[in-house]
Structure 1
Amino acid sequence: MKNVKKYSRGYFMPPVTSLKWTQKEYITEAPMWCSVDLRDGNQALVVPMSLEEKLEYFQLLLKVGFKEIEVGFPAASETEYAFLRTLIEQDLIPDDVTIQVLTQSREHIIEKTFESLKGAKKAVVHLYNSTSVAQREQVFKKSKEEIIDIAVTGAKLLKKYAAETEGNFQFQYSPESFTGTEPDFSLEICNAVLEIWQPTADNKVIINLPATVSMSMPHVYASQIEYMSDHLNYRENVILSLHPHNDRGSGVADAELGMLAGAQRVEGTLFGNGERTGNVDIVTLALNMFSHGVDPGLHFENLPEIVAVYERMTRMKVNERQPYAGKLVFAAFSGSHQDAIAKGMKWREEKDVEQWTVPYLLIDPQDIGREYEADVIRINSQSGKGGISYVLEQQYGLEFPPQMRESFGYAVKNVSDHLHKELMPNEIYDIFMKDYVNIKTPVEFINYRSTQNDDYRTVVSIRINEEMQEITGEGNGRLDAVSNALQSKFGITYKDLVYKQHALETGSKSNAVSYIGLTAHDDTVYWGCGIDSDITTSSVKALFSAMNKMIVSLQLPIDKEYSLIKK
Structure 2
Amino acid sequence: MSTEKVQIFDTTLRDGEQVPGCKLNTQQKLIIAERLDQLGVDVIEAGFPISSPGDFTSVAEISRIVKNATVCGLTRSVKKDIDVAAEALKGAKYPRIHTGIGTSDSHIKYKFRSTREQIIERAVEAVKYAKTYVEDVEFYAEDAGRTDNEFLARVCEAVVAAGATVLNIPDTTGYCLPEEYGAKIKYLKENVKGIEKAILSCHCHNDLGLATANSIAGVINGARQIECTINGLGERAGNTSLEEVVMIMRQHPTLNLDTGINSKLLYSTSRLVSESMAMPVQPNKAIVGANAFAHSSGIHQDGVIKNRETYEIIDPADVGVTESAIVLTARSGRAALAYRAKNVGYELTKLQLDKVYQQFLVYADNKKEVHDDDIHLIIQESNIGIKATA
Q: 1:193 aligns to what? A: 159
Give the partner amino acid of 1:192.
Answer: A
Q: 2:47 aligns to what? A: 72
Q: Cα offset for 1:397?
A: 5.0
Q: Cα offset for 1:137?
A: 2.2
Q: Cα offset for 1:30?
A: 4.1
Question: When the two structures are superposed, what TM-score results if normalisation uses the length of structure 1?
Answer: 0.65
Structure 1 residue aligned with 2:307, among 316, 322, 344? Answer: 344
Which digits, 9 at most, give the CA deviation of each residue in 1:302-344, with x for residues without a partner? 4443233112211101110001111112111111111111222
Q: Which structure: larger Rg?
A: 1
Pairwise mapping of residues 44-443 of structure 1 onto structure 2 (< 5 A)? Answer: 44-88=19-63, 91-94=64-67, 96-159=68-131, 161-162=132-133, 168-197=134-163, 205-292=165-252, 296-345=259-308, 358-372=309-323, 375-401=324-350, 404-418=352-366, 420-438=367-385
- Does the CA contact (< 8 Å) of 2:302 and 2:335 recur in 1? yes
Instruction: Find the residue that maps to 1:39 and give its secondary structure.
Output: coil
Among all aligned residue pairs of Structure 1 and Structure 2, give the percentage whose two residues are the same amino acid: 27
Which digits, 9 at most, give the CA deviation of each residue in 1:118-140, with x for residues without a partner? 34332111111001121122222
Which digits, 9 at most, give the CA deviation of each residue in 1:217-267, with x for residues without a partner? 211100111111111221222111111111110111111111100011111
The separation in 2 between residues aligned to 1:531 and 1:86, in whole angstroms, is 55
Q: Which has the higher contact order (CA 8 A, sep 6+)?
A: 2
Give the partner amino acid of 1:317.
Answer: P
The separation in 1 between residues aligned to 2:388 and 2:66, in whole angstroms, is 61
Give the partner amino acid of 1:170.
Answer: D
The structure that is strand-richer by fraction is 1
The separation in 1 between residues aligned to 2:275 and 2:178, in whole angstroms, is 33
Q: Cα offset for 1:84?
A: 2.3
Which digits, 9 at most, give the CA deviation of each residue in 1:425-451, with x for residues without a partner? 23123311331332xxxxxxxxxxxxx
Instruction: Find the residue that maps to 2:326 and give its secondary structure.
Output: coil
Distance 1:393 1:290, change over 3 A: farther
Structure 2 residue aligned with 1:40, among 15, 18, 21? Answer: 15
The separation in 2 between residues aligned to 1:432 and 1:259, in whole angstroms, is 54
Give the partner amino acid of 1:385.
Answer: R
RMSD: 2.3
Which digits, 9 at most, give the CA deviation of each residue in 1:55-95, with x for residues without a partner? 1111121121113111111111111111222234xx4121x
The separation in 1 between residues aligned to 2:354 and 2:210, in whole angstroms, is 42
Give the unaligned 5+ runs of structure 1: 1-23, 163-167, 200-204, 346-357, 439-528, 534-567
- Does the CA contact (< 8 Å) of 1:99 and 1:122 recur in 2? yes
Distance 1:49 1:389, change over 3 A: same
Q: 1:451 aligns to what? A: none
The separation in 2 between residues aligned to 1:29 and 1:212, in whole angstroms, is 26
Q: Cα offset for 1:395?
A: 3.8
The structure that is helix-richer by fraction is 2
Instruction: Find the residue that maps to 1:37 and give its secondary structure.
Output: coil
Distance 1:385 1:532, change over 3 A: closer
The separation in 1 between residues aligned to 2:389 and 2:277, in whole angstroms, is 53
The separation in 1 between residues aligned to 2:370 and 2:228, in whole angstroms, is 38
- Does the CA contact (< 8 Å) of 1:33 and 1:266 recur in 2? yes
Q: Which runs of 4+ in 1 moved over 6 A?
A: 530-533
The separation in 1 between residues aligned to 2:263 and 2:51, in whole angstroms, is 32
- Does the CA contact (< 8 Å) of 1:44 and 1:275 recur in 2? yes
- Does the CA contact (< 8 Å) of 2:286 and 2:292 recur in 1? yes
Q: Cα offset for 1:187?
A: 0.3
- Does the CA contact (< 8 Å) of 1:100 and 1:123 recur in 2? yes
The separation in 1 between residues aligned to 2:106 and 2:171, in whole angstroms, is 14
The separation in 1 between residues aligned to 2:186 and 2:233, in whole angstroms, is 27
